[in-house]
Structure formats: C-alpha cells, structure tokens
Structure 1
Amino acid sequence: MDTRPRLRLALTAGEPAGVGPELLVRLAAIPFDAELVAIADRGLLERAAARCGLDIQLIDDNAPAPALATAVQLRVHHVPMPAPEQPGAPDPANARYVLATLAEAADGCLAGRYDAVVTAPLQKSSINDAGIAFTGHTEFLAERAGVDVVMMLASPELRVALATTHLPLSAVPAAIDGPLLQRVLRTVHAELRRKFGIDEPRIAVLGLNPHAGEGGHLGREEIDTIIPALDALRGEGMELLGPLPADTAFVPAMRARYDAVLAMYHDQALPVLKSEAFDRTVNLTLGLPFIRTSVDHGTALDLAGSGRADPSSLIAAARMALDLVLRSRRAA
C-alpha cells in the first residue's frame, strides 16, 4: 500500500489581467485526487471567483483544512500583488509579481514542497514593458532550475517538440546546429521513455525548408546540419524519421509511424496541433527535474473578467501533470 502523502500540485495564475485567475478558480471546482495550491494574490483569486459566480473557500497553505467543508476549497500560497488588476489591461507594475509566483512554484518543486507545477498563461509583452527581459515560461524555468529544456505540446493524438521556441523566424536558421539538435533529441527521447513509458520511442524530425530542402534546391540546412545530426543519433540506437517535409508529416499514414515530432520552429507544427485539439492540448517542459504543464493558449484579454473563459486546457494540463507524477511514482 502506498503510504506517501497526497500529491500537491502548485498552480500559478499567470497574468492578473488575463483569464488565468478565472481558469484557476474554475479548476479548483473540479475533483482531483491531489491537493491544489494556488501561488497567487489572495484578493485576485477572490475577485476572480466572484466574477465566475463560484463559492470558494481560500485556505492559507500553512493552515489545517477546515473540519467542515462548506464550499469549494483551494489552498493559497499568498504572493502580494502591487497593483489591482483591470481585466483586459495588463499592468507592467505587476510583472515582478508574476515572476515571483513562477519562482516560488519552481523553487517549491525543487525543494519537494510541490510534486508538479501547472501554469496559467502570462503576458510576455507586459513583463518586457516593465524592463525585464523575458521570453517565456519555458526559458524562465530552465534558468531557475539550471538545466537545458525542450518545449513540447501534447494532445491525446499527437506530441510535438520544438528545436527552437520563441525566436523571430529570421533568427531560426542560425540557431539550429548539430549540437542543438542532438541535445534536443536526446532529451525528447529520454523523456518519452521516462514520462510517457514508451520503451523505444520513434521520433519524426521535420526539415527546416519547404519539401525538406528538396535535395538542396530549396536550402542546404537539411544536408549540412539536420541529416548529419540524425545519422549520429541513429548510430546510438535512436529510431528517427526524416528530415520530413512539414506539409505531409501529419497525414494519418505518417502519424502511425512515430510517437512524437520534432519541429524546427514554433509555428511550423503547432498550428496543426492546436487546430485539431485546442482544448485538449497541454504544454510540457521536458528536461526539468520536476513536472511542469500548462495551457496551450494565451491570456485571452478580450474574455478576461467575463467569467466565460473555457478552463478545458488548464484542466487537461492538471490531469496530465497528475498522471505524469503517478507514472513516475509507479516506476520508482
């Protein structure tokens, strides 16, 4: 019998003026076999719950649970927010608050206070407007943990990892080299085995150029960089397909041949994934010493404050985090 304590999932609310706080309180109303801990400003969550018409009881994370539950309960690690939120209008004054919630979630996972972290969307532009260089959750958590990571989005039908993440398209070719591709593919291969229980992962690798370069006529990156990197890893025993043309890699006959796809840049493959499974897709950060999942959408400023934002992706992210933690426990 497993006598270990109940799992604890840390939740961050993301951009205060976006839909994240409302999604988070809606998530709290869903039954989970885990303890949910919101790392956020208590007042922000109270106002979000009121907008959603939810009767929610916020409990300090250090306090014992009430003997009698009269409403939905949610534990809170309170982080004070400098400026009150105005739904739909991000305030750069709250940028450091947003990053403080992420830091607490990451540090708490590293220290064993939380078993995983689930993040709601944030507004990168607002953080940069505050004078803080910031490219995204993935890069922030990698720096906090001191590791190299890979961004993956996964639905029940498809897993897509990225060789590069939040870069201008003009910067992508120079960013892709052999060592990068080998590091990324080793991480994806190891995490497919460790997190998803796939003993012999099959990974499809997309080319950078149209038609995967068409023999060098549409670009030489496949010939000069991608193919040599794949051949080296095949020599280590990895099962790799490609480089494949991106326009045919996602047809049903091809999907049956692989367990995951490595795309060269952010918008090369993610539109395919999001167009068919937007509310069921989860963002994962591979390579971290803890499990992190997130939604596959942005802050939806046009919906913020309405109480009508769909929590399906955040619910999927929390369920995947719980599944991954339980799988790792069973394997331990």
Structure 2
Amino acid sequence: MYKNTIKLTASAVALCAASSAFADSLTVYTALEEEEVAIYLDAAKAAMPDLEIDVLRLSTGKLGARLLAEAGNPQADVIWGWAVTAMMDPQVLELMAPVKIAGTEALAPQFRDTEDRWFAQIGYMGAFCVNTARLEDKGLTMPTSWADLEAPEFKGEVLMPDPNESGTGYLHVNAVLQGMGVEKGWAQLEAVDPNMAQYTSSGSKPCKSARTGEYTVGISLAFTAMQSIEEGYPLAMVFPSEGVGYELEASGILSSSDQQEEAKKFLDWTMSPDAIELFSQYKALVTVAGAKPSETAVKAGLPSDISTVLAPVDFVESAGRQNEIKAEWREKFGR
C-alpha cells in the first residue's frame, strides 16, 4: 500500500493562503510524515471537494518555532498531527481555540484537552530500524536494547534524530529518561553517544539511511520501519527492551483563524470512520476504540498489545521538562 505514495513537500503543496482564490481555503501546518500527508490529503480532498487545503509540512521543532514567530500575525488556520508535548506549551495553547470536534467526546480523557483546544486520535512510536544484511556482513549481533548499542562494534553504525529539531528524537530521549530514571537515562545515552555517526534533523531519516545500507541501525519511527519492510528492504523493526517511546499527534484550530467553520469541517473529517480506517493502515497507534492494526503492521512485527513494548511516558512531565531536557542534551551531545 505504500509503493504509490506521493512525496509531499512545502513546494509541492504550496503555502498560498494569501493568494488563494478559494473562499473556503485552509492553511494547515503539520508535522506528519510526508508519505502519510499525501495519502490523507487525497482522501480529505475527495471527501470535501469544495474545500481547498494548503499544507505546509515541517518537523516538530520547526513547526513550533514558526508558530511562535508568527504569534503576532498568525498564518495558519489548523494544526494537524503535531506532537502533544509541543502542543501543550502554554505559549502555543494560548493560540488555540476551544472547539468541540465531532467524535472526540468518545476519546479517553488523556487523548483530548479538557478545554477542547486539542485532541489526538493518532500517535506514533519509535523503533530501531536494523539493516539485517549489513548486520550480517559486519558480523554484528541483533541489538534488542539501548545497552546493546554500547558495544564498540557499533561505532559509526548508529543514527538518531536530534531532539532539538525532531519530535522523534525527543520521543526517544524522553522515553529513556522516564523509563530508566534521569540519572541512569543520561548515563545510557552518554554510553551510546560514541557510536553515533550522526544526529539528524529528521525523524525518519535514520531509518531510511539504515534501510539502504548506509548504516546498520537507525533509531527512528515504527511507521518508517513498517513501510520499509513492506517495500522489501532488508530491515528488522526492533523495540528496545527498556521500552520504546511514543507520542500523541495532536490537532486543533488557531483562534486567529477566520475560517473557523472550514477548519472544524476538516478536523471533523479526521475523526470520521473513513479517516480512522485510513489512519489505521499507517499508524502504529490509533486511540479510537476498536481501531485495528493493518496487515503491514502485524507482518512487520507490531505486537497485538503494543502496551507490552511502550515505555512509561507521562505527557505532562514530557511537556513541562522538554526545554530543560533539550538544553541538557545540546550541552552533552550537540555537534
């Protein structure tokens, strides 16, 4: 199902709210992966042909920086699929409108804001993407934990996203710190750092680099791992035994938008049965009751009960400490 995806970039789906000739036009900022956005957007436009949707895709960190930079003159109408730890920043929440989106009342309390400023029907999980061919060629043992990545044999063989630029990077760092405790967590990250070939700005790049054999291990996303396995790359999706990080992808409407009705229409669609079914084909984590994982996810090794592999994550703590954690990470590992 992934082979015919369309690569979406800011230039491919132009950010043109100011010049749009459509009365019902939305400007949407998203941090969802490009491959996903293209597919979801096709379905949204088929369901709402009279609604022009202009999407700008940015990494989690860059989306937040843009929102705050534009706070005095907001350009977006909708935030769609952005890390909830970023959405919960008080400066961001001040920009969001309290709007009841159809269907969100059925979400468990931890998946929606008490004041209806955001909701999260989807999320993403981290994973180790391990190139099995390169692993065999180099005589390496399959890593099943963060501790395994300390082995000297993995020097220069590991990629990971920078948590200051990527929500995926923060997801992994936060899971290690919350799962192991702060002191032991930082010690674990420091022990693996000498083997890191690079810290990337993209959450999916480590997996994409690993699947093509440039490196052995890409600390990345379960979605990208599942996609890569289905496309035939020699890749294994591994969830570290210490527990894998995950993140909710929140959506909401900016209070400054003059397209409130259209924005609500779009987000109502994202909670529709058709949209949830589509999300379930690509997301490892869907918070709507009854959603079933795709065959691709099952074949790639996603357990039927994903709670068995998830790290214990407190999203309030994740949001409250992220600036402190990112600053400390930069001091320890910035390159």
TM-score (norm 2): 0.25
TM-score (norm 1): 0.25
Q: Which has the larger radius of gyration?
A: 1
